[in-house]
Structure 1
Amino acid sequence: MTSGPDLTGLVALVTGASAGIGRYVAEGLAARGAAVAGLARGAGRLRTAMDDVAAATGARTLALPADVTDPAAVDAAVAEVARVLGPVGLLVNNAGLIDAAEVPLWEADPDQWWAVVESQVRGPFLLARAVLPGMVAAGGGRVVDLASGISTRANPHYSAYSAGKTAQVRITEAVHLAGSAHGVRAFDLAPGVVDTAMTRAMPMHTGRTEWTRPQDVVDLVVAIAAGELDQWSGRFVRAGVDDLDTLRATTPTGDARRLRLVPYGDTDPLG
C-alpha cells in the first residue's frame, strides 16, 4: 500500500472517474485501501479505468455508468454502491463540462451553456442529495467538490463554467452548515491547472508549461478523507499552492477562504 493515511474500510464515490483528475483521485484513494466506485457517462472507458485501478492497487472497485444530471440514474448508482461496496463515506464531485468556446456570454450557444451549468450545479446537488442521508445515518462523512479559481472571480470567456463553479461553492457551504451537526464535512478543492485533455483543449492554456501535479490534488483529497483537514470544512483549498502541513496546522476563522462580498469601507452597512 502507498505510504500515507490508511483508508481501509472507507467507501469512496468519485464522479468523472474515467479520465483526468477523477481517474487520478480514484487510484490515489484505492492505493491507500479505500474501496472506490467510479461514476461517468462513458461505460466502456469507465470500466477499463476501474479495472486498471483494481489491478494496480488490489482495491475493490465498481464502475457506475451514469449521467450526474439524471436523478434516477444518480439514485440508482448510489444504491448500487451501498449494495456492492457499502455506504459511501467520501463523495468526490469531480464530473463537469466546460464552455465549448472562449466567447462572451451573448455569443454562447444557450443549450451548451446551460449543459455546463447543469453539470457543475445539478450534478453535485443530485449526488449530495443521494449520498448525504446515508452519511447522516452513519454519523458522518465527507464531501469534496472540485472547485476552481474561476469560482472566486469573474471571467469574460467562461461565463457558464464560472457561474456553475460559483454556485457549487454555495452548495458546499450549505452542506457544511446543515451537515456539521451530523458529522458531515464538505470542502471546495481547487486543483489548479492539471495537464488533462480538458485543460489542453482550452485556448487560455495554449503554450502553458507549468501544471499542477496530479499528486498534489490526490494528497489533498486523501488528507480530507482521513479527517486531517476537518477544520477547513465549508472552505476553499488550492492544490499546488496550499502547503498540506500548513493546512493541517491551521484553523481558519471568520470568513477566511469563503466566498463573500467585500465591504466598500468601514461605513458599508453590509459590512
Structure 2
Amino acid sequence: MADATADDTADGGTPAVSPAPAEVALVTGASRGIGRAVALGLARAGLRVGLLARDGEALAEAAAELTAAGGRAAFAVADVSDAEAVRDAVAALVADLGPVDLLVNNAGRIDAEVPLWEADVEQWHGVVATNLLGSFHVSRAVLPAMVARGGGRTVDIVSGAGARDWDVASAYTATKAGQLRLVGHVHEAGFARGLRAFGVAPGTVETRMSTSMLVHRNRTEFTPVERTVDLVAAIGRGELDDWSGRYLRVTHDDVTSLRAHGTPAPGARRLGITPWGEDDPNAGEGLVPPAR
C-alpha cells in the first residue's frame, strides 16, 4: 500500500503518495537475457516474481532457477503483442503471487540494421507490436490495480537508441523513443495517484540480441547486466523516486550517483525537443518536457 505521508505534491496541490517498497514484481521477456537476470536479482532481494514470455520451457527453467536461489516465482506464457493473452497471464500471476507493485517491461525485439526504405514491413510491424504495443498491453493489464491499491512502480527497459537519431533499425529506435514517452505519460498521469515510472537503458549487455547485431560484431567489452539489476532493485525499494518520469542509463548512472545528485531539475532527463535558444518559438509547452 502507499505511504500517504509523503511530502511531494503533484500539479494542482494534490498530495502525492509514495508507494511502499515492492513485494511482487512482474518481468516480461523473463525467459533469458536481461529479463531473466533482473527476475533472478529481484527474487534474491526477497520479492515474489512473476515471469512472462513466449517460451514456456525456458520460463520453467528460469522459475526453477529463482526457486533454487530461495525466491518464490510463478510463470505464464504469453506473447506481449496479444492483449487478451496478456490479460489472462497477468490475472494468473496475480492469483498466484498477489498484486503486482513493480512492473518491468523488458520484452523486446530489434529489426534489421538497414535504413527505413530498405526495412521489411512485416518485421517492422512485429518490432512495434512487441516493444511498444507490448509495453502498453502489459501496463494496461497491471496499472489499474496499482492505482486502486494506492500506487506502484514501472520500469521500461529502453535504449540509448531511443534517445538519439540512428541510421539503422528504425523500428527499434522509434519504439524505444515511444517507450520513453509512455514512461513520461505514466508519470504525468499517475504521479498524484502513487505511480512512479522509469526508463532504464541497460547499455550493451551481452545477450542473444546484441551479439547478433552487425554494429557489435567486433565488440569485446559489454555492460555488466548486474548494473541493470541493481538499478531496478533500487527502484523497487523506492530509493530513486525523485527520478520518476526520467531516462536512466546504467553505463553512466548508478544508485549512488543518482542519489548524490539530488532532485533533478525540471525537464532533466526527459525526452523533448532541444530549442535553438531562448528565442526559439518551438520552445514552448508541448515540445519540451513539462516541469515536475
TM-score range, shorter chain: over 0.9
TM-score, structure 1 length as denominator?
A: 0.95
Q: What is the CA–CA distance in structure 2 between the aligned matches of 1:243 and 1:120, rounded to whole Å?
A: 25
Q: What is the CA–CA distance in structure 1 between the aligned matches of 2:211 and 2:179, rounded to whole Å?
A: 23
- Is 2:67 the partner of 1:54? yes
Q: What is the CA–CA distance in structure 2 between the aligned matches of 1:244 and 1:59, rounded to whole Å?
A: 23
Contact 1:195 1:212 in 2 (8 A): yes
Q: 1:103 to 1:31 in 2, by over 3 A?
A: same
2:263 to 218, 238, 251: 251
Structure 1, unpaired ranges of 5+: 1-6
Question: What residue is the counterpart of 2:227 in the other structure?
Answer: 216
Alpha-carbon displacement from aligned partner over 1:38-64 (angstroms, at most 9, x marks no partner): 000011111111111111x21110111
Question: What residue is the counterpart of 2:213 in the other structure?
Answer: 202
Q: What is the CA–CA distance in structure 1 between the aligned matches of 2:82 and 2:22, rounded to whole Å?
A: 29
Question: What residue is the counterpart of 2:95 in the other structure?
Answer: 83
Report deviation, 1:242.
Answer: 0.9
Question: What residue is the counterpart of 2:49 in the other structure?
Answer: 36
Q: What is the CA–CA distance in structure 1 between the aligned matches of 2:53 and 2:30, rounded to whole Å?
A: 6
Question: What residue is the counterpart of 1:161 in the other structure?
Answer: 172
Q: What is the CA–CA distance in structure 2 between the aligned matches of 1:244 and 1:208, rounded to whole Å?
A: 27
Question: What residue is the counterpart of 2:160 in the other structure?
Answer: 149
Q: What is the CA–CA distance in structure 2 between the aligned matches of 1:132 and 1:219, rounded to whole Å?
A: 23
3-state SS of 1:144 partner: strand
Letter in 2 for 1:205: H
Letter in 1 for 2:83: P
Alpha-carbon displacement from aligned partner over 1:114-153 (angstroms, at most 9, x marks no partner): 1101211101111111100111111110000001001111
Alpha-carbon displacement from aligned partner over 1:203-232 (angstroms, at most 9, x marks no partner): 100111221111100000000000000000
Letter in 2 for 1:129: R
Structure 2, unpaired ranges of 5+: 1-19, 284-292
Q: Which runs of 4+ in 1 moved over 4 A?
A: none
Report deviation, 1:166.
Answer: 0.6
TM-score, structure 2 length as denominator?
A: 0.88
Alpha-carbon displacement from aligned partner over 1:144-176 (angstroms, at most 9, x marks no partner): 000100111111111010011011111111111
Q: What is the CA–CA distance in structure 2 between the aligned matches of 1:243 and 1:124, rounded to whole Å?
A: 24
Contact 1:9 1:35 in 2 (8 A): no
- Shifted more, 235-244 versus 214-223: the winner is 235-244
Contact 2:27 2:39 in 1 (8 A): yes
Match runs of 1:90-109 below 5 Å: 90-99=102-111, 101-109=112-120
Q: How many pairs does the alignment contain?
A: 263
